[in-house]
Chains A and B, each alone.
Chain A
Amino acid sequence: MELAVALGLIVFKVAFLIAILLLLPLPLTWVERKVAGHMQQRMGPMRVGWHGLLQPVADGIKLLTKEDHIPAEADRFLFKLAPILALAPPFVVFVAVPFGESISVLGTEITLYVSNMNVALLFVFAVIGIEVYGVIFGGWAANSKYAVLGSLRTCAQMISYEIPMGFAVIGVVMLAQSMSLLDIVRAQADVWNVVYQPVGFFVFFVAGLAEAQRIPFDLAEAEGDLGAGFHTEYSGIRFAFFMVSEYAIVLLVSVLVVILFFGGWNGVLVPLPPLLWFVLKVAFFVYLFIWFRFTFPRYRYDQLMAIGWKVLLPLSMANIIITGVLLGAVGAP
């Protein structure tokens, strides 16, 4: 009986998580287009529903009913595999991500995470690394120059930026003495990590922008010079898979930034429910992503590589050394 309840709870949580992740891109695209519109003194979508609120639904229906086109010369197996490879990892990662301690419903304590792994951080980085295969296969299988160029760029970019990203969180791990995301948040109950690790936060956030392939690092799908990059040849529902995956990664990076550096669900000053604090913080970072997108131009490819290897990597290494020395000399805060 105990086991059945526990299993049922896990299945329910996973289903709930998947539903949320699949549905969240709908409001996010609307918000993105609205913010884009108003930043450019336009109004964004206005015609479908109140202030265009139903526009994402209309777009979804359009994508679902569109012809699913596969280019004649494409590698059909890889072409079909790629969108799934791009979509699955961001969903899998959320298994290891906690959203809060627990809430009690009808007298039962329900934890707000699917699993509390002691190597959650490693798991996150390992799984998110797989996502790059979707992009590479997608670009390669389409047999199009734009797509191949886009996926080659992505390959180089993802690999270059995963290294500083991984180094940037080592300082956090040192402070919390744990790789479990839950323990990391608990360790920030009094002071958020961003106070001790500003450089780590900076490196992580910039590398996160690059991981999510958002402006100013969206070279993989640079509309101006590559058509649409690796998903140039995709249409219909497969294109939607790539879009959902992109938004899931934006969400993931925001969630990770909040958990690792901004105290997760720990609030300051205003006593709000922890879950609300968490959602508010994540929403802020998602907004920041959109805000950046419509403010900054795109970096050139060599600049992108230079930033990754010559700025972020040394910064993150220096951050580890200084954190270590300070921890040794002053002791844990």
Chain B
Amino acid sequence: MSRAKDRVGTWIGWGFFADLANGLALTFGYMFSRPVTMQYPDQEKWLPYPRYRGHHFLKRDEEGEIKCVACELCARICPCDCIEVVPYEDENGKRHPAKFEIDTARCLFCGLCEDACPADAIALGQQYEFSSFSSRDLVIGRDDLLAKPGKAATGGGVVAARLDTKKDVRVETKETQGYNWWRNIRRT
């Protein structure tokens, strides 16, 4: 009985375009809801989680010596064959890389080099803006890799940022922890 009533109600609703009105009300509501757009690169930027695999960097030990022992394991395991290591031996008989180049244009950021390294010398960090006019610029040498920032302690949020095209095509930010975009866009 009540089902028949429901059905009659539905038909009456259709007669008065209740379904169309519902749709219009929904879109109208959305029109005044907060846009989910992340205004990258003008105002905001997504700061990845600390576990993110972005730029490579080489680490130093406590004495400030480069940790890498030039075993070439990372070069062996790399699926893209984009690491080139040339070893040398210093006065103390320690092996170090004379040349350590990563072609980030070919890298797929799998992180296998980080996993394979026996000396915990290489790791992947938070930066992901690699745009460049020439793929030669994306080959990064030993000293640049040593100078790069290490693992981030924070991340996973949207931070205020500005596009800086003068120095480098990179969106600069000073904040370390932004707001949670995923929570922010949820409609209840």
Bound complex: CA A42 to CA B30 (Å): 10
- Nearest first, the 4 A-B pairs at minimum CB distance are A295-B27, A43-B37, A38-B31, A39-B27
Q: Which residues in B have some Cβ–Cβ distance to A below 8 Å?
A: 20, 23-24, 26-28, 30-37, 39, 42, 185
What mask results when residues 42 to 84 of chain A are scored 1 for a CB within 8 Å of chain B, else 0?
Answer: 1100110000000000000000000000000000000000000
Please determine whether A43 and B35 come into contact, CB atoms closer than 8 angstroms. Answer: yes
Residue A35 at the chain B interface, CB threshold 8 Å = yes
Please determine whether B35 and A295 come into contact, CB atoms closer than 8 angstroms. Answer: no
Beyond A43-B35, A46-B42, A295-B26, list 8 extra A-B contacts (CB 8 Å). Answer: A38-B31, A39-B30, A39-B31, A41-B37, A43-B37, A291-B24, A292-B24, A295-B23
Residue A40 at the chain B interface, CB threshold 8 Å = yes
Say which residue of B35, B39, B42 sits within 8 Å of A38 (CB atoms). B35
In the assembled complex, the CB of B49 is this many whole angstroms from the nearest CB of chain A, namely 24
A249-300 residues at the B interface, CB under 8 angstroms: 291-292, 294-296
9 inter-chain pairs at a CB distance below 8 angstroms, sorted by A residue, are A37-B35, A38-B32, A39-B28, A39-B30, A40-B30, A41-B35, A42-B35, A43-B37, A295-B26
Q: Within 8 Å CB of B23, what residues of A? A: 295-296
Please judge, given known A-B contacts A38-B35, A41-B35, A41-B36, whether A291 and B30 are in contact too, CB under 8 Å: no
Please determine whether B36 and A42 come into contact, CB atoms closer than 8 angstroms. Answer: yes
In the assembled complex, the CB of B188 is this many whole angstroms from the nearest CB of chain A, namely 14
Q: Within 8 Å CB of A46, what residues of B? A: 37, 39, 42
Q: Within 8 Å CB of B185, what residues of A? A: 41
Chain A contact-residue range equals: 10 to 19
Say which residue of A42, A294, A296 sits within 8 Å of B37 (CB atoms). A42
Q: Within 8 Å CB of B39, what residues of A? A: 43, 46
Please determine whether A295 and B31 come into contact, CB atoms closer than 8 angstroms. Answer: no
Q: How many A-B Cβ pairs are below 8 Å?
A: 40
Bound complex: CA A47 to CA B39 (Å): 10
What mask results when residues 21 to 44 of chain A are scored 1 for a CB within 8 Å of chain B, else 0?
Answer: 000000000000001011111110
Bound complex: CA A46 to CA B44 (Å): 14
Q: Within 8 Å CB of B27, what residues of A? A: 39, 291, 294-295
In the assembled complex, the CB of A250 is this many whole angstroms from the nearest CB of chain B, namely 18
Please determine whether A41 and B28 come into contact, CB atoms closer than 8 angstroms. Answer: no
Q: Within 8 Å CB of A37, what residues of B? A: 35
Q: Within 8 Å CB of A292, what residues of B? A: 24
Please judge, given known A-B contacts A43-B35, A46-B39, whether A38 and B24 are in contact too, CB under 8 Å: no
Please determine whether B33 and A295 come into contact, CB atoms closer than 8 angstroms. Answer: no
Please determine whether A291 and B33 come into contact, CB atoms closer than 8 angstroms. Answer: no
Closest to B17 in A: A202
In the assembled complex, the CB of B18 is this many whole angstroms from the nearest CB of chain A, namely 14
Q: Within 8 Å CB of A295, what residues of B? A: 23-24, 26-27
Bound complex: CA A295 to CA B20 (Å): 9
In the assembled complex, the CB of A171 is this many whole angstroms from the nearest CB of chain B, namely 21
Bound complex: CA A292 to CA B42 (Å): 32
Q: Within 8 Å CB of A39, what residues of B? A: 27-28, 30-31
In the assembled complex, the CB of A138 is this many whole angstroms from the nearest CB of chain B, namely 31
In the assembled complex, the CB of A13 is this many whole angstroms from the nearest CB of chain B, namely 36
Bound complex: CA A39 to CA B27 (Å): 6
Q: Residue among B24, B27, B36, B42 with the most chain A CB within 10 A? A: B27
In the assembled complex, the CB of A127 is this many whole angstroms from the nearest CB of chain B, namely 31
Q: Within 8 Å CB of A47, what residues of B? A: 42
Closest to B26 in A: A295
In the assembled complex, the CB of B21 is this many whole angstroms from the nearest CB of chain A, namely 10
Q: Within 8 Å CB of A294, what residues of B? A: 27
Say which residue of B31, B33, B35, B37 sits within 8 Å of A35 (CB atoms). B31
Closest to B29 in A: A39
Closest to B33 in A: A41
Bound complex: CA A42 to CA B32 (Å): 11
Bound complex: CA A266 to CA B31 (Å): 30
Q: Within 8 Å CB of A38, what residues of B? A: 30-33, 35
Q: Within 8 Å CB of B34, what residues of A? A: 41
Bound complex: CA A292 to CA B21 (Å): 10
In the assembled complex, the CB of A4 is this many whole angstroms from the nearest CB of chain B, namely 51
Please determine whether A296 and B20 come into contact, CB atoms closer than 8 angstroms. Answer: yes
In the assembled complex, the CB of B17 is this many whole angstroms from the nearest CB of chain A, namely 9
Please determine whether A291 and B28 come into contact, CB atoms closer than 8 angstroms. Answer: yes
Closest to A38 in B: B31
Closest to A40 in B: B30
What mask results when residues 288 to 324 of chain A are scored 1 for a CB within 8 Å of chain B, else 0?
Answer: 0001101110000000000000000000000000000
In the assembled complex, the CB of B173 is this many whole angstroms from the nearest CB of chain A, namely 19
